[in-house]
Amino acid sequence: MRIGAHVDPADPLAEAASRAAEAVQFFLADPQGWKAPVPRPDAERLRAAEVDLYVHAPYVINVATLNNRIRIPSRKLLLAHATAAATIGATGLIVHGGHVNAGDDLAVGFDNWRKTFAYAAESGGFQVPVLIENTAGGDNACARRLDALARLWDAIGEYGVGFCLDTCHAHAGGEELLGLVDRIKAITGRIDLVHANNSKDAFGSGRDRHDNLAGGTIDPDLVVAVIRAAGAPVIVETPGGAVRQGEDITFLRDQLGAEAPAA
Ligand SMILES: [Zn+2]
């Protein structure tokens, strides 16, 4: 099982080494901005690396919205990130499930997701697997609660979409972690990546504030149980930089009986 962390994008391989991580996730552009990713001078080194690379798409992307001034640039930016992620040999591109605005029909949001994959297919398809991540908040989200996730997968399942399960988002979003992997796999058939995070906030709070694994409101054993059941690579998106994330990775390796990579 490959275990790693979300890191600063300046030198992801150095960040991996400082955490003894076998995988890293990072942004290719400002997560709060609309700028397309620029080519990385270290692309060849990243492609050749033993470390698995995951790219997280900007948070501003919302391909589900009925607001076309957000939706159209969102799907363009997502496609641009997939293309850029391929140039560095990334394993997957993680993007949040998105939402529609209050009063808007969620069914249109799911259809907008379908249109996103149809649009990408016209341009040759996404160049890396797209992993849709569950989110913590909002009443009109496409991938917060599993009833919505099932409708989303009805709309896009045919495109071979991947799924990223965030334990903080599930807990804060109001989905019990116990048995969650089976309930998700019954819908998606797969979990491609686990974001292993504890939550600073209560079950069902709808708030998205990650905590280190031994802290927070989730029993750390439950996070470990989710990882075991998912059988997928793991990224911690926890606070505290290399030291605290390194502790979180060590905690998971200890609990899972996994060995650290040779230095
Ligand atoms: Zn996450």
pLDDT at 261: 80
CA of 262 to the centre of ligand 1 (A): 27
pLDDT at 259: 80
Q: Identity (one letter) of the amino acid at 194?
A: V
pLDDT at 227: 97
What does the pLDDT look like over 131-151, one tens digit per residue?
999 999 988 999 999 999 999
Distance CA 78, CA 192 (A): 18
CA of 35 to the centre of ligand 1 (A): 21
3-state helix, strand, coil in the chain (%, to 5): 40, 15, 45
In Å, what is the CA distance from 225 to each residue of 95, 132, 177, 182, 228?
A: 24, 21, 9, 12, 5
CA of 72 to the centre of ligand 1 (A): 24
CA of 195 to the centre of ligand 1 (A): 5
CA of 167 to the centre of ligand 1 (A): 8
- Token pair 């069914």 is at which residue? 107
Alpha helices in the chain (DSSP H): 12-19, 43-48, 68-87, 106-122, 146-156, 167-173, 180-188, 220-230, 241-256
Q: Specify the DSSP class assigned to residue 99.
A: B
Structural domains of the chain sorted by starting position, each given as residue range(s) with its CATH number in brackets = 23-232 (3.20.20.150)
Q: Specify the DSSP class assigned to residue 260.
A: P
Length of the chain (residues)? 263
Reported as a pLDDT band with limits 50, 70 and 90, residue 114 is very high
pLDDT at 256: 95
What does the pLDDT look like over 231-262, one tens digit per residue?
999 999 999 999 999 999 999 999 999 887 87
Question: What residues flank ion ligand 1 with Cβ within 5 A?
Answer: 166, 195, 237
CA of 155 to the centre of ligand 1 (A): 23
pTM here? Answer: 0.97
CA of 16 to the centre of ligand 1 (A): 18
Reported as a pLDDT band with limits 50, 70 and 90, residue 208 is very high
Write down the mean pLDDT value for the chain: 97
CA of 98 to the centre of ligand 1 (A): 13
Q: Within 13 Å of residue 118, how many CA atoms lie on the same side as its CB?
A: 8
Determine contact, residues 37/80, Cβ cutoff 8 Å. Answer: yes
CA of 223 to the centre of ligand 1 (A): 13
What does the pLDDT look like over 28-65, one tens digit per residue?
999 999 999 999 999 999 999 999 999 999 999 999 99
Please tell me the least confidently modeled range out of 84-88, 94-98, 121-125, 219-223: 121-125
Pairing mode, strands 210-211 and 198-199:
antiparallel
CA of 185 to the centre of ligand 1 (A): 18
Tokens representing 132 are 């849709």
CA of 95 to the centre of ligand 1 (A): 9
CA of 46 to the centre of ligand 1 (A): 22
pLDDT at 258: 82
pLDDT at 263: 59
Reported as a pLDDT band with limits 50, 70 and 90, residue 1 is confident
Report the pLDDT averaged over residues 74-97: 98
What does the pLDDT look like over 150-196, one tens digit per residue?
999 999 999 999 999 999 999 999 999 999 999 999 999 999 999 99
Distance CA 163, CA 132 (A): 5
Other CB atoms within 10 A of residue 126 CB: 23
